[in-house]
Amino acid sequence: MAVPLMDIAAEYRSIKDEIDEALLEFLGSGKYVLGPYVERFEEEFAEYLGVAYCVGVSSGTDALLISLRVLGVGEGDEVITTPFTFVASADVIVRLGARPVFVDVEPDTLNINADAVKGAVANETAAILPVHLYGMPCDLARLGEIAAETGVSIVEDAAQAAGSKYAGRLVGTFGKVGCFSFFPTKNLGAYGDGGIIATDSAELAEEARALRVHGAKRKNYPGVIGYKARLDAMQAAVLSVKLKYLNRWVSRKRELVNAYRERLAGVAGVTLPAEPEGREPAYHQFTVRAERRDELKESLQYRDIGCAVYYPIPVHLTEAFGFLGYRPGDFPEAEKAAAEVVSLPLFSQMTDGQLDTVCSAVEEFYVG
Ligand SMILES: *Cc1c(COP(=O)(O)O)cnc(C)c1O
């Protein structure tokens, strides 16, 4: 039996009638840009998170870019972030003329090491950008203390973590600003690109709303040079339907991860992801460390079992970021993780039988 890494079309099929109806209603409305669909979804997502404001934007990347910009990040500034992430977390910093300052990750959560963050804070530090990788919440208590001690704002990259909780509270609500992506494969996925900025600050929300439409608070009166980065109204119509299912889908994925844990606990060669006390990840990926990782990957692929490496090269060692002057060995934990991680199939419609197929293949690879 073939098992895909993810099956987002299966998710669509599970709510097809409702989605189709919402899309047909949208098409008949004529309200295709911003307007009622975007406003409704912004309100719903703000209520879901428990924040005062949400600003829908065109992607998670633009959510990060605009968030940093409203916090005043620019030329000569530094932003502290993790090298073990999707490139978007760091490239937005460079696009604003600021410098990403990487610090290493914790070996158990693969998230930014808060003590290292503390050590990296300097006069130039304009923001701290932690990433809840694979949906695993960062050490938000410690990061919050550092932000309070230093006065530096936190922008949470919660692109992979819609529905994840830290100490019982949804992530993306701890920093000055939280950024989410609705890329189709994310926990809450649209049928195209989308993203959102969450904040309790009326002022930051207003600035972000202007930046997504050419920097204009009033139409045709641009106050600053902005972007064209609105959440698409059709995606908002889809997201309003899908948000109702997010908690259910997160629970199902957590159930599947528990089943993985039971099955793979005894397999030498596989190290399961930690789930520290107080953190309740909405697993975007189920990512293990694997001995002979590349061979395992080939063996799974040979059996038509989807798997993928996120991310094979830590950002500081990519060609694009070469100009920063980092060298192999600078962040040993991130580099070790990049060499060892592999994500196994996980999606809300995955069946117990599919999970069994994956586990048997992994067992067979290591145990024979
Ligand atoms: C997906 C992702 C982004 C970017 O979101 P897009 O919607 O694809 O632009 C940023 N950071 C992380 C960690 C992501 O996984």
Give pLDDT tens digits for 93-114: 999 999 999 999 999 999 999 9
Mean pLDDT of 67-71: 98
The pLDDT assigned to 166 comes to 98
Structure tokens at 348: 């809300």
Q: Which residue has the tokens 């920093």?
A: 175
Is 58 a pocket residue for ligand 1 (Cβ < 6 Å)?
Answer: no
The pLDDT assigned to 211 comes to 98
The pLDDT assigned to 352 comes to 98
Confidence class of residue 1 from pLDDT cuts 50, 70 and 90? confident
Mean pLDDT of 229-240: 98
| Cα separations in angstroms, 359 against 270, 331, 345, 348, 364 | 11, 32, 10, 17, 8
40 alpha carbon – ligand 1 mean position (Å)? 23
The pLDDT assigned to 11 comes to 97
Is 134 a pocket residue for ligand 1 (Cβ < 6 Å)?
Answer: no
- By the 10 Å C-beta count (0-12 exposed, 13-18 middle, 19+ buried), 259 is classed as middle
84-93 per-position pLDDT tens digit: 999 999 999 9
Confidence class of residue 150 from pLDDT cuts 50, 70 and 90? very high
Residue 346 · residue 6 · CB < 8 Å: yes
Longest dimension (CA), the chain: 68
Is 183 a pocket residue for ligand 1 (Cβ < 6 Å)?
Answer: yes
186 alpha carbon – ligand 1 mean position (Å)? 9
DSSP reduced 3-state for 83 = coil
Is 180 a pocket residue for ligand 1 (Cβ < 6 Å)?
Answer: no
The pLDDT assigned to 96 comes to 98
Residue 127 · residue 100 · CB < 8 Å: no
The one-letter amino acid at 133: L
155 alpha carbon – ligand 1 mean position (Å)? 14
Is 195 a pocket residue for ligand 1 (Cβ < 6 Å)?
Answer: yes
The pLDDT assigned to 252 comes to 98
* Phi, psi at 224, each rounded to 5°: -140, 165
Is 125 a pocket residue for ligand 1 (Cβ < 6 Å)?
Answer: no
Mean pLDDT of 9-27: 98
Structure tokens at 280: 């309740």
Q: Which residues pair with 305 in a beta bridge?
A: 3
231 alpha carbon – ligand 1 mean position (Å)? 15
The pLDDT assigned to 363 comes to 97
Is 273 a pocket residue for ligand 1 (Cβ < 6 Å)?
Answer: no
Mean pLDDT of 17-40: 98
Sign of CA dihedral 82, 84, 85, 86: positive
The pLDDT assigned to 98 comes to 98
64 alpha carbon – ligand 1 mean position (Å)? 9
278-320 per-position pLDDT tens digit: 999 999 999 999 999 999 999 999 999 999 999 999 999 999 9
319-338 per-position pLDDT tens digit: 999 999 999 999 999 999 99
Closest CA to 75 of 41, 111, 99: 99
Mean pLDDT of 117-141: 98
* Mean model confidence pLDDT for the chain: 98
Residue 72 · residue 155 · CB < 8 Å: no
The pLDDT assigned to 230 comes to 98
pTM given for the model: 0.98
Is 61 a pocket residue for ligand 1 (Cβ < 6 Å)?
Answer: yes
Structure tokens at 83: 């090298």
Mean pLDDT of 79-86: 98
Q: Using the atom order of ligand 1, give the atom closest to the CA of residue 195.
A: 7
Closest CA to 199 of 67, 48, 81: 67
Q: What percent of the chain has pLDDT over 70?
A: 100
- Measured by CA distance, the residue closest to atom 1 of ligand 1 is 159
Whether the predicted pLDDT of 368 surpasses 90: no
Which distant-in-sequence residues (6+ apart) come within 8 Å of 244 by Cβ?
none
C-alpha angle 153-156-162 in degrees, rounded to nearest 5? 155
Whether the predicted pLDDT of 259 surpasses 90: yes
